[in-house]
């Protein structure tokens, strides 16, 4: 978005509204009442608030925030456009930025991904940023595999839906990862971004830059356990077939509150597909 030529008094007014705790869309609505076109009002509020966040980060020695995927406007509709289907919002957290989505995938799509992935599973690995390599780690006890982006018609359809839903370029997404968790399997709480302080991070960021959002889609409903947990805010998403949880992180820092994990499966098995979104094109 190009920088707007906003008068200093307007910028200051928007800052004062934010500091007073007003929601961004309430500020936009007030500007529309004063004659601003809604699209320009949204751009103005976004620009001023983003600049405010950058200023705060620089003043406090924090990573600067970036623009991230966003499936819904604050205060916006609760039935979202996925291109080829409408997707209902089931839960909506502001911080951490978490949106629980219903019926992102059909039963047939879930079953299709499981069938395609099942024959290619191997023990899941974790990228060890201290060493710059992927290896099996005790904190992650699932089996998994990756599809390359656009590998088949089913994957292409799902990827296009997610790109539309999250308002993020398809080319900025990693390939889908499918995971199977058997009884007792889990993924201990962690962050999905790559820690810039670790020696192995520079190499992995060379392709696509930093991760900025995750979408975890549930391909079946386990008999018990297996929820996606956000322990810092005591929030857990039930793993219901076809549903998904989206969460974004505007900087690689724990202040995003997006530490999450896969709770142990207590009965049955759990299948998920994960899409990670990057700041730039991933090849």
Domains in the chain: boundaries: 8-59, 79-278
Chain mean pLDDT for the chain: 92
Q: Which two tokens stand for residue 209?
A: 């830059």
Give the mean model confidence (pLDDT) for residues 82-97. 95
Q: What is the pTM of this model?
A: 0.83
Tell me what the mean pLDDT of segment 194-220 comes to.
95
User: What is the band of 111 on the pLDDT scale with cuts at 50, 70, 90?
Assistant: very high
Do residues 166 and 89 touch, judged by C-beta distance below 8 A? no
* 2-10 own/partner pairs: CB under 8 Å, 24+ apart: 3/47, 4/40, 4/43, 4/44, 4/47, 6/44, 6/47, 6/48, 10/44
* DSSP-derived 3-state class of residue 20: coil
pLDDT confidence of residue 1: 44
Helix (H, G, I), strand (E, B) or coil at 179: strand
Band of the pLDDT at 165, cuts 50, 70, 90? very high
Q: 265 or 3, which is more confident?
A: 265
* Architecture in CATH for domain 79-278: Sandwich (2.60)
Average pLDDT (161-171) is 97
Interhelix angle 8-19/38-59, rounded to 10 degrees, is: 70
The rounded distance, in Å, linking the Cα atoms of 227 and 247 is: 15
Q: How far apart are CA 215 and CA 106, in angstroms?
A: 16
pLDDT at 253 over 90: yes
Structure confidence at residue 229 (pLDDT): 98
């Amino acid at each position: 978005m190009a920088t707007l030529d906003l008068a200093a008094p307007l910028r200051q007014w928007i800052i004062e509204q934010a500091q007073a705790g007003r929601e961004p869309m309430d500020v936009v609505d007030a500007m529309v009442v004063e004659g601003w076109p809604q699209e320009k009002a949204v751009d103005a509020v976004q620009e001023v608030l983003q600049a405010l966040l950058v200023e705060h980060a620089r003043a406090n020695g924090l990573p600067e925030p970036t623009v991230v995927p966003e499936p819904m406007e604050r205060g916006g509709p609760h039935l979202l456009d996925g291109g080829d289907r409408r997707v209902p919002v089931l839960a909506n957290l502001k911080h951490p930025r978490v949106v629980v989505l219903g019926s992102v995938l059909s039963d047939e799509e879930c079953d299709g991904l499981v069938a395609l992935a099942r024959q290619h599973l191997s023990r899941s690995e974790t990228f060890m940023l201290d060493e710059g390599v992927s290896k099996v780690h005790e904190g992650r006890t699932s089996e998994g595999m990756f599809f390359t982006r656009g590998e088949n018609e089913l994957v292409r359809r799902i990827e296009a839906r997610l790109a539309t839903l999250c308002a993020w370029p398809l080319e900025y997404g990693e390939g889908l990862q499918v995971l199977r968790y058997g009884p007792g399997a889990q993924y201990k709480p962690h962050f999905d971004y790559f820690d810039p302080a670790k020696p192995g991070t520079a190499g992995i960021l060379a392709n696509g830059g930093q991760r900025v959002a995750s979408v975890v889609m549930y391909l079946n409903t386990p008999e018990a356990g297996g929820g996606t947990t956000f322990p810092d805010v005591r929030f857990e998403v039930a793993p219901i077939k076809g549903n998904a949880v989206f969460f974004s992180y505007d900087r690689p820092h724990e202040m995003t509150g997006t530490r999450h994990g896969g709770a142990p499966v207590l009965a049955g098995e759990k299948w998920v597909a994960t899409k990670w979104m990057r700041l730039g094109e991933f090849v």
